[in-house]
Structure 1
Amino acid sequence: MPLPFLTADRTFEAASESALPYDDPDRWRRPYRPGPWRVAMAALGLLLASFVLFGAVLIALTGSVSSAGAVLGAGLALIAGALRLLRMGVWVSGRGLRQVRFLVTRTVPWARVASLRTVQQPVRWVGLPRTVQGQALVLVRKDPGAGDAPPLLTTHTLDFLGRPSAFDRAADVVEAWAAECGRG
């Protein structure tokens, strides 16, 4: 059985039509991998959740079911928070651009995107109030009263901290999605 993804024998007619090598452009996808800091924070959250869930079992075995239920709820909240942390970031599809934050998700259709550009500006360091000089991928909307949107990607988030080349690749891919889908 040939493995075409491992060989150069496959045809490239689909690649000549589009700069985006995806079979289903309507499926939401993150155009970059989650960074090691984001994965480490989520892993620590899941590790803490396992200890909390073990504590809930011990509390339930000692007879206090209501306390065990409260601790179980706290453990499930930790798991939900860790999974949401992994889901955070910028997602793209043929329908638009989606920015997933911890508590809020915003979707902008490609028809409302005027441009995406990388700018040098003060950015928040790992989401904290402290700002440092860095690069940001900024969305410019066609809506006249849209106001300033927060940067989509920055060089100092959990995904790109200490990885400027990964930020450049991710910004280029998001801009390619905007160029490909915005013209339709």
Structure 2
Amino acid sequence: MPLTFLTADRALDEVDDEVMLPYGDPDRWRRPYRPGPWRVGAAALALLLASYLLLATMIVAFAGAPAGAAACASGAAAVIAAALRLLRTGVWVSPQGLRRVGFWTTTTLRWAEVSAVRTVQQPVNWLGLPRTVQGQALLAVRTAGEPLPVLLTDHSADFLGRTDAFDTAAEAVESWATDHRQ
């Protein structure tokens, strides 16, 4: 019996190099690493809460209280937006520059504005909480000398307990900086 799902990988290996895949767009902003399990788990729990809020919206709407249903629906929309923003946070790179997406703010720098990207040992926040521990941080130094918040840490929601993934992501961001900074 042929197992067709096993041949799908071979079909991808035989794709012509001239074919432009959607993720191969060179001008597109991309995150050079995958979101970590802590970040994905927190977003999944938030979406679970949003599903309960949407169920409550339906129950309240059928009970005949449109104001309560609107409040539950807006709460669910806020939780969904927060979960999506949580998944989007991190460092994004493109040939145009470096983008640090936080939960509340986004900072974008052109590569000409970045003088160096390096990994340093320093106290870092544990899972973004006020508690600090000794760890590694990826820093970007602006040419104007203004401080930029820490890009990545090995104790963040993406890399806690995954030091190899942090090293790979830091090297990827550093290589983007060296390749495009000229």
Q: Does the alignment reach a TM-score above 0.5?
A: yes
Q: Find the counterpart in structure 2 of residue 17 from structure 1.
A: none
Q: Find the counterpart in structure 2 of residue 174 from structure 1.
A: 173
| 1:139 alignment partner, SS class | strand
Q: Find the counterpart in structure 1 of residue 149 from structure 2.
A: 150
Deviation at 1:6, TM superposition (A): 2.4
Q: Which amino acid aligns with 1:174?
A: V
Percent same amino acid at aligned positions?
55
| 1:91 alignment partner, SS class | strand
| 2:177 alignment partner, SS class | helix
Q: Find the counterpart in structure 2 of residue 6 from structure 1.
A: 13
Alignment of 1:77-116 (within 5 A): 77-116=78-117
Over 3 Å counting, the alpha-carbon distance change for 1:2 and 1:135 in structure 2 is closer
Q: Which amino acid aligns with 1:161?
A: L
- Report runs of 4+ in structure 1 exceeding 3 Å deviation: 1-5
Deviation at 1:24, TM superposition (A): 2.7
Q: How does the TM-score come out when normalised to structure 2?
A: 0.88
For the pair 1:52 / 2:53, whether they are aligned, the reply is yes
Q: Find the counterpart in structure 1 of residue 3 from structure 2.
A: none
Q: Find the counterpart in structure 2 of residue 19 from structure 1.
A: none
| 1:150 alignment partner, SS class | coil
RMSD: 2.1
Q: Which amino acid aligns with 1:6?
A: D
Deviation at 1:134, TM superposition (A): 0.2
Over 3 Å counting, the alpha-carbon distance change for 1:29 and 1:2 in structure 2 is closer
Contact 1:4 1:10 in 2 (8 A): no
Deviation at 1:39, TM superposition (A): 0.6
Count of residue pairs brought into register by the alignment: 171
Over 3 Å counting, the alpha-carbon distance change for 1:72 and 1:155 in structure 2 is same
- The whole-number CA distance in structure 1 between the counterparts of 2:65 and 2:24 is 53
Could you tell me which runs of 5 or more consecutive residues in structure 1 were left unpaired when the two chains were aligned: 12-21
